[in-house]
Amino acid sequence: MSINQNTAGSIVVTPVCDAIGADVICGDVKKMTATVFHQLQQAFHQYLVIRIRGQQLNIEQLLNFGRWFGTLSRGAPVHIGQKPRDEQYPELAIISNVIENGLAIGGLGDGEPVWHTDSSFNDIPPSLSVLYSVEIPPAGGDTGFANMYTALDALPKALRNEIGGRTIKHDKRFTSGGQLRPGFQADQDLQDSPGPSHPIIRKHPDTGRDALYLGRRPYAYVNGLSLTDSEALLDTLWSYATREEFTWHHQWRLGDILIWDNRCTMHRRDAIDPQTRRIMHRTQCHGTAVISGM
């Protein structure tokens, strides 16, 4: 697919499957115009994950592209054993399995980050994430996405009523790859663990649609329930959330940009062969307080 296929001012949008995601051809994103961006944003709200291929961006250019969507936020905290952030680019997070001088150059390692939505452990989680492939392995490291509007719609009425008005505590201690963040204790009762609480059904501030907002399965806790009841309710909700029919799995090429909406999607990643290298650059936009849906 060439990046030059769009004719002046109009983008080409092709859904990648029925569940979620679309390929967008919009030319070189370094030359984005307000007209093109407006169409891109419409596609984003319709398909929730946008893939733009064949781009060549340095760090500044990626951050400039991200700024079209809103104010960028500081990258997620590094984990134990990870190189400190480059303060020249506080809005950049490196996602990588590469180790240099005994330190990980980025987050998430070789493992298989579980289904999650980004940084829901913040009081105000990021609205969207932009991930750009800088170096990719010959195989592995595919990223899956799940549609949380359709997951919510699939819940039986009684279950939907049961979660209406309820909140989940989103534990701050671990990354989605399972790494402990500095300053936190691994061994802590979930009812007392650190992290903000957000409504399980969240209203999207731009589309007005309700979505399931689960954060991630490990260390989650449904406030007000016993631990046993919380685990049982979460297991039931998760059995809907990541059903095959709500998902799409993307195989990376060099120069791909993926933009996903953290308010109505979740994502996960396949493991990476430790003998290979994968380097991705990510930036995120500031969100707004999580509003409860119905």
Nearest distance, CB of residue 143 and ligand SIN, angstroms: 4
Please enumerate, as own/partner, the contacts of 80-87 that have beta carbons within 8 Å and a separation of 24 or more: 80/179, 80/180, 80/181, 80/182, 81/179, 82/106, 82/107, 82/179
Tell which positions 173-212 bind ligand SIN, by CB under 6 A: 176
Largest CA distance in the chain: 58
Q: How far is CA 217 from CA 16, 231, 235, in A?
A: 27, 9, 8
Question: Tell me, what amino acid is at 122?
Answer: N
Phi, psi of 284 (to 5 degrees): -135, 155
Residue 266 engages ligand SIN in binding (rule: CB under 6 A): no
77-106 residues in contact with ligand SIN (CB under 6 A) are 95
Q: Which is nearer to ligand SIN, 210 or 261 (CB)?
A: 261
Question: Could you tell me how many residues of this chain bind ligand SIN (CB under 6 A)?
Answer: 9
Nearer to ligand SIN, 38 or 253 (CB): 253
Beta bridge partners of 14: 23
Q: Please say whether the beta carbons of 221 and 188 come within 8 A.
A: no
53 binds ligand SIN (CB under 6 A): no
Residue 267 binds ligand SIN, judged by CB under 6 A: yes
Residue of the chain from 113, 215, 287, 293 that contacts ligand SIN (CB under 6 A): 113
Site for ligand SIN in 122-161 (CB under 6 A): 143
Residues 161-180 that bind ligand SIN (CB under 6 A): 176
Q: Which residues bind ligand SIN (CB under 6 A)?
A: 95, 108, 113, 118, 143, 176, 267, 269, 280
